[in-house]
Amino acid sequence: MVERPKNPTLEQLRAVCQTPEVRARKNAEHWTAELYLRHISIYLTAILVRTRISANGVTGLMILAGWFMSLALLIPGIWGPLLAVILSQLQLYFDCSDGEVARWRGTQSPRGIFIDMVGHHTTEALIPIALGYRAFIELSADDSSVEQAWPTLFMAACLSVLLVLNRSQSLMVHAARGMAGLGKLPDTAAARSVPTTSLVGKLRSLARFLPFHKLLHAVELSLIILGCSVISAIVGIPGAAEKWMVWILLPACVLVNFGHFLSNMASSRLKA
Length in residues, the chain: 272
pLDDT of residue 192: 55
Lowest mean pLDDT segment, chosen from 73-82, 167-176, 210-219? 210-219
pLDDT of residue 106: 92
Q: Give the closest residue to 84 by CA, choosing from 74, 93, 96, 94.
A: 74
Rounded-to-integer distance, Cα 202 and Cα 266, Å: 12
CATH architecture observed for domain 10-270: Up-down Bundle (1.20)
36 or 42: which leads in pLDDT? 42
Rounded-to-integer distance, Cα 96 and Cα 242, Å: 30
Q: What is the mean pLDDT of residues 199-221?
A: 67
Rounded-to-integer distance, Cα 65 and Cα 258, Å: 30
Residue type, 22: V
Confidence check: pLDDT of 88 > 60: yes
- Using DSSP, state whether 121 is helix, strand or coil: helix
pLDDT of residue 100: 92
What does the domain layout of the chain look like in residue ranges?
10-270
Rounded-to-integer distance, Cα 162 and Cα 166, Å: 6
Q: Give the closest residue to 264 by CA, choosing from 178, 114, 256.
A: 256
Phi-psi region of 232 (alpha: psi -120 to 50; beta: other; left: phi over 0): alpha
pLDDT of residue 37: 76
Inter-CA distances, 178 with 165, 186, 265, Å: 19, 14, 16
Confidence check: pLDDT of 209 > 70: no
Mean pLDDT over the full length of the chain: 86
Residue type, 26: K
**Residue 227, Cβ neighbours under 10 Å: how many?**
14
Rounded-to-integer distance, Cα 254 and Cα 55, Å: 35
pTM flag (> 0.75) = yes
Confidence check: pLDDT of 161 > 60: yes
Rounded-to-integer distance, Cα 172 and Cα 225, Å: 29
Q: How confident is the model at residue 196 (pLDDT cuts 50, 70, 90)?
A: low
